[in-house]
Structure 1
Amino acid sequence: MSGLCGWLAAHEAPDATRANARLIARMAAPLSRYDASALTAVVGNGSAAAVAAGAGASHLYHKDGLLIALWGRPQLAGAPGADPALAARMAQLWRNYGATACASLAGPFALCILDEFANEALLAVDRGGVHALHYQCTPQQGLLFASSAEALAAHPGAARALDPQALYNYLYFHMVPGPGAVYAGQRRLLPGEYLHYRAGKLSRAAYWTMAYQECETLPFKTLKAEFLGTLRRAVERSVEGAGAGTGTFLSGGTDSSTLAAVLGQVSGRPARSYSIGFDAPGYDEMAYARLAARHFGTVHHERYVTADDIVDAVPRIAAVFDQPFGNASAVAAYCCAQMARADGVTRLLGGDGGDELFGGNERYARQALFARYDRVPSLLRQVIVEPLLFKVAVGQRHKLLCKARSYIEQASLPLPARMESYNLLQRYGHRSVLEDDFLRDVDPDAPLASLNEAYWLTQGHSQINQMLAMDMKFTLADNDLPKVAGACELAGVEAAFPFLDDAMVAFSARLAPRQKLKGTRLRYFFKQALRDTLPPAILRKEKHGFGLPFGLWVQQHQGLRQLAFDSLSDLKGRGIVRAGFIDTLQSRHLAEHPAYHGTMVWVLMMLEQWLRQHHDGAADFVRGRDERESAGG
């Protein structure tokens, strides 16, 4: 996995350069395991940093006790393009502005600045969270950091015990959300955040936050021209340095179809597009991808993923992610990237971010419907509607009455808790799923508390912008971006995300709420602006994504069933999930509703697969929340 790593020691050791060079190479080894990216390092007596990255994505500086490492393809804000002396310019910005120097960077990056003489350091990541940084701080070791938990854990002073809360959060979210990490004592920077370390003390702060303006008044024609120009420039920046080696995912949705169109315009030749299909009813969307490919004249490639492909991919997927990751569509993304790599593609454009910027997720419309109930006068709700449905007609099983009760029950819950009513772990009940000993060191309310924090701390005052801000973190930075980046890494392809270009993000923040969600019409401005570009069928298409027919196939395919059930059998002995729950899940729930309960089978299977790949032996937990958090700051 490409990335950066290093440390700033609490105490400088004389003549430690040679030992430090060996240690930084050990930490960096996991970063280039899959793509064999070039490794460059800078080493001092009390610090070291290394970057593993492809050409043009590594920037280092070392002079007078100041070490700077920068991973990614950023540029200084306002600069016309890539700057080969970027790390040296960051050295000057650090001297002039200190910790806020990172705010001068635009684009995807992870940054470390290590000042040995002042015993001071700065870590930062980009605004969208495209790149990650884990860190750990102890009085004995100082500050340790790396783009992946595995690279950080390779330092002899790093913690290797698992954090029970992180595993609980994984079972709730199907990934480990930041700032938490799977290893106790490790923490992660959030998008647009920096960490300042000085003389053993840590401070975290946001150098950037999404500032929703909510009252755009420019005419549509003006906005459309600005949007299309911004989009074109974002794609141009995303393909810089890759040229003909650039391709694009093409699902047939609005985002990927838009990128296929603009990529062709920017490159002056037909875009190279890649699509995945499933030979299963309700899961195959290849027809939309073909429609887009024909419409834009792309050089199109298709692959149908089979159950055998899943059996082959599961251990690989578990290995490439440095934390447990349960999004099954990572397999489809990997197979797609694998196909592109075999075709000579070195960089793939992903449409991730479009939904979270312009209002494209179906739940936004659904929650807008629920919000209408809040506008019904409280006297009418409490005196007439609710007593009629829940008391007078309590015994009635009429379909419309049942729907009305369900609507009011959900509408009465506050956001974001209302969106979690279908959460699998909540539906089963965490005490029915998890062992008592495991739960003793877990706060079951922590996941919802983190959702509440993201929802209510946003600068957006409208419901749609609050939901978008929450999804920018949990859906995008914690889930979709790691999914695509990890899948591409495994296939040896670099991922790029034009919709997360800083200018595009800033443009979306200026749109009024009604331009993102008009009534229940999703992506209103986005679709209106692209009416002359996208085929009508794609503009009308409902969102689907790379859903995997795992629940269906696990019952039909012997090899996949054996892989899943063997994994769950081994998971029983780790002291996390109750054996009785696993037995019931396999023997009864899965047969009752394969698609629904198959998700939990997948999540548990991937947890066991991850533990096998990254954490040999029985699960080793740190007990006690204070101990888990003390090292992370």
Structure 2
Amino acid sequence: MCGITGIITASGGVPDRAALNAMNTVQAHRGPDQHDSVVMEGAGLAHRRLTILDPSSGEQPMMSADGRYTLVYNGEIYNYRALNPELEAAGYTFPGHCDTDTLLAAWQHWGPDCVQRFRGMFAFAVWDAWEKRIHLVRDRLGIKPLYYGLTPDGDLVFGSELKTLMAHPGLDRALEPLAIEGYLALGYVPEPYAIFRNSYKLSAGHMFDWTPGQAAPSPRAYWDIGFQPQAAPSVEDAADELYSRLDDAVRMRLIADVPLGAFLSGGVDSSAIVSLMAAASDEPVNTCAIGFEEAAFDESDHARKIAQLFATSHREHQVDGSDFDLIDQLIDIYDEPFADSSALPTYRVCQLARQQVKVALSGDGGDENFAGYRRYRLHQNESRARQRIPDFIRKPVFGALGRFYPKLDWAPQFVRGKTTFQALAMDTAEAYCHSVSVISQPLRESLYSSEFLGELQGYRARDLFRAHGERAGSDNPLSIAQYIDFKTYLPGDILTKVDRASMAHGLEVRVPLLDHEVVGWAAGMPPEYKLRAGEGKYMLKKAFEPTLPHDILYRKKKGFSVPLSAWFAGPLKETVERAMTEGALIESGLFKAGALECLWQQHKSGRGEHSAALWSLLMLSRFLERESGGVLSGGAQNAAIGSRR
């Protein structure tokens, strides 16, 4: 696992090595073991290395023998050894046993099509010195990050984290309005946007090539998830095949020349991974878990049960109930406002794991793959109701109910109908966006200033969901929701959270459940194999019934979160109140005067439950405070928002 960065000059001249090295230095945490850079006509590439395989070779930037290609690479190609014989037969040699050598040879031999042969996680750049062209590639699921942007002079800059781009003096630091809308809707900035104007994330499963002098890069997809149903075996046979596929995916990810372990929450996903690791390992598996003081959030006893069952070398750490001192540190780690509060315990579990290992396997991806989220069940039920009622009745009737029915956050569940009424009036993709929104569209619009609404030019986060929904390749509501999550929540939230938290500690995290062959196969299985009679992850649970205890497989999931309501009523009360009434949010020009204070008063009085919204706004406030020297400069609205006209 590493960090990469580069500058491609519009003029074709040699980039400033000092600027390149400065960009590389700010991502030193991604690769504390080695670093280097190279500059040449048209391009400068730099690399930070976290050594996992063959410490004696694999240094980057790596140049082909003929001098044509220069590679910088972040990630792991797990099947690189299987590719080597074919490449050796074609005349390539491998002085060590590092996957970087294989990647470079594969690019020379097969060109961009080589990515179709890779199983792994990767983000890499290849400079073609003969054609004066840069190629940027990101793995299929977006496990590894890759940002890029254009300077006013036309130079292309790229890096593993947004901070590497921002270390370049030419990058625009005005905020991107569409990113702000996406963040306030979802709690993270969704791809392809980045928080700053003219900076972007290369979307998962995409690549592009770019020659100086061209217009902005045009990324193209080289892989996508197909939710078209395949010929399905019985659910029992499917469960057996899933077990075999996951066993293969885990074994591939046990290759390392450094200590290796696993995160263990005691849930289905992490328990399944640990069980497979234990079966494949001669030594006890290193596992670690985070506990919470609040019983409603704590699952450490379940993790302990699995650790005992598989005789792992287990470590635990209890997170203090007031562990919010990391807030400002998270802004530096994530570069953009990031409102998933579970980033706090994720940071702690990565910190704990790094004391014992340098590589950890995690269970991320199980919910998206096998329909584990509770919201999938609710979305499916709503969709069934939506399909039974003609549009000419459904939209006006439930639209009116959604507008006029009061929002009774304080009331018993059975009388809280506003959100459901609103969703029933929408199409499938918009309804799903509504259900996952941290701040609903009506509430966002009630907060936004008229100037900022004008900057959005009618764009809303639902538009992104609709665009993804149209490409899902299925009319099944569950499949559409899963596809949207694979394109938004998984790379934008889950994988971003784990990548930044782990790399902050020099820890590599591998995700077997997101092996693309597992993902593609699971997507083709019938929806009822994933969600059956209200039971999510049905097929996955069946696959591990012979291995894992029933109470682990079928217990109610608690989630990996923190007690925001308690924090806002106690130790963070003054902090939140100050953020909603003065300072960066107020000066940004994004919000109506008094609207944020009104939101806070509703929450404080108990007339509304806005913990998630307030946390999102607090993290945005902290981000704006950090950026106030460049973005807000005297509170100037146009500098903060950035004009798109």
Coarse TM-score class (shorter-chain normalised) = 0.7 to 0.9
Paired residue for 1:9? 9
Is 1:136 aligned to 2:137, yes or no?
no
Aligned-residue offset at 1:457: 0.6
Q: Structure 1 residues 498 and 399 mapped into 2: Cα distance closer, same or farther (>3 Å)?
A: closer
Paired residue for 1:447? 461
Paired residue for 2:45? 49
TM-score of the aligned structures, taking structure 2 as reference length: 0.85
Aligned-residue offset at 1:616: 3.1
Deviations 1:58-116 (A, max 9, x none): 65432434322121112567826898465555555545654434333321001111123
Match of 1:38 among 27, 31, 34: 34
Deviations 1:244-279 (A, max 9, x none): x22222222111111222222222233332222332
Q: Structure 1 residues 259 and 85 mapped into 2: Cα distance closer, same or farther (>3 Å)?
A: closer
Residue type matched to 1:212 in 2? Answer: F
Q: Bigger shift: 178-187 or 617-626?
A: 617-626
- Counterpart Cα distance in 2 of 1:617 and 1:74: 39
Residue type matched to 1:361 in 2? Answer: Y
Aligned-residue offset at 1:320: 0.6
Paired residue for 2:89? none
- Counterpart Cα distance in 2 of 1:92 and 1:406: 54
**Partner SS state of residue 310, structure 1:** coil
Residue identity over aligned pairs, in percent, reads 25
TM-score of the aligned structures, taking structure 1 as reference length: 0.87
Match of 1:100 among 92, 113, 132: 113
Paired residue for 1:117? 130
Q: Bigger shift: 159-168 or 324-333?
A: 159-168
Judge conservation of contact 2:278–2:285 (CA < 8 Å) in 1: yes
Q: Structure 1 residues 183 and 421 mapped into 2: Cα distance closer, same or farther (>3 Å)?
A: closer
Paired residue for 1:522? 536
Q: Structure 1 residues 294 and 95 mapped into 2: Cα distance closer, same or farther (>3 Å)?
A: closer
Paired residue for 1:154? 167
Paired residue for 1:203? 218
Paired residue for 2:298? 284
Aligned-residue offset at 1:129: 0.1
- Counterpart Cα distance in 2 of 1:352 and 1:575: 37
**Partner SS state of residue 284, structure 1:** coil
Aligned-residue offset at 1:522: 1.3
Is 1:66 aligned to 2:62, yes or no?
no
Aligned-residue offset at 1:533: 1.4
**Partner SS state of residue 583, structure 2:** helix
Judge conservation of contact 2:151–2:171 (CA < 8 Å) in 1: no
- Counterpart Cα distance in 2 of 1:47 and 1:580: 49
Residue type matched to 1:41 in 2? Answer: S
**Partner SS state of residue 179, structure 1:** coil
Judge conservation of contact 2:365–2:513 (CA < 8 Å) in 1: yes
Q: Structure 1 residues 525 and 182 mapped into 2: Cα distance closer, same or farther (>3 Å)?
A: same
Paired residue for 1:536? 550
Is 1:372 aligned to 2:384, yes or no?
yes
- Give the RMSD, CA atoms, in angstroms: 3.3
1:391-406 to structure 2, matched below 5 A, reads none
Paired residue for 2:352? 339
Q: Bigger shift: 464-473 or 154-163?
A: 154-163
- Counterpart Cα distance in 1 of 2:413 and 2:503: 49
Aligned-residue offset at 1:493: 2.1
Match of 2:275 among 239, 261, 275: 261
Judge conservation of contact 2:5–2:160 (CA < 8 Å) in 1: yes
- Counterpart Cα distance in 1 of 2:575 and 2:229: 49
Q: Structure 1 residues 615 and 354 mapped into 2: Cα distance closer, same or farther (>3 Å)?
A: farther
Paired residue for 1:176? 189
Judge conservation of contact 1:161–1:622 (CA < 8 Å) in 2: yes
- Counterpart Cα distance in 2 of 1:266 and 1:331: 32
Deviations 1:306-359 (A, max 9, x none): 244212x111111111211111000011112222223x2222222111111111
1:213-612 to structure 2, matched below 5 A, reads 213-241=228-256, 245-280=259-294, 282-311=296-325, 313-342=326-355, 344-376=356-388, 378=390, 410-421=423-434, 423-426=437-440, 429-443=443-457, 445-557=459-571, 560-568=572-580, 569-571=582-584, 572-592=586-606, 596-612=609-625
Q: Structure 1 residues 333 and 139 mapped into 2: Cα distance closer, same or farther (>3 Å)?
A: closer
Q: Bigger shift: 248-257 or 232-241?
A: 232-241
- Counterpart Cα distance in 2 of 1:527 and 1:205: 36
Is 1:623 aligned to 2:642, yes or no?
yes
Paired residue for 1:127? 140
Aligned residues: 609
Deviations 1:469-496 (A, max 9, x none): 1111212111001111112222332222
**Partner SS state of residue 203, structure 1:** coil
Tell me, which stretches of 5 or more residues in structure 2 are unaligned?
85-93, 633-638
Aligned-residue offset at 1:177: 0.5
Residue type matched to 2:249 in 1? Answer: A
Judge conservation of contact 1:5–1:50 (CA < 8 Å) in 2: yes
- Counterpart Cα distance in 2 of 1:372 and 1:178: 30
Judge conservation of contact 2:31–2:48 (CA < 8 Å) in 1: no
**Partner SS state of residue 464, structure 2:** helix
Q: Structure 1 residues 509 and 242 mapped into 2: Cα distance closer, same or farther (>3 Å)?
A: farther
Aligned-residue offset at 1:174: 0.8
Aligned-residue offset at 1:419: 2.8
**Partner SS state of residue 429, structure 1:** helix
Q: Structure 1 residues 93 and 338 mapped into 2: Cα distance closer, same or farther (>3 Å)?
A: closer
Aligned-residue offset at 1:21: 3.0
Q: Bigger shift: 400-409 or 354-363?
A: 400-409
Deviations 1:337-396 (A, max 9, x none): 222223x222222211111111111111112212222453749x959xx79x98xxx99x
Residue type matched to 1:125 in 2? Answer: R
Q: Structure 1 residues 382 and 442 mapped into 2: Cα distance closer, same or farther (>3 Å)?
A: closer
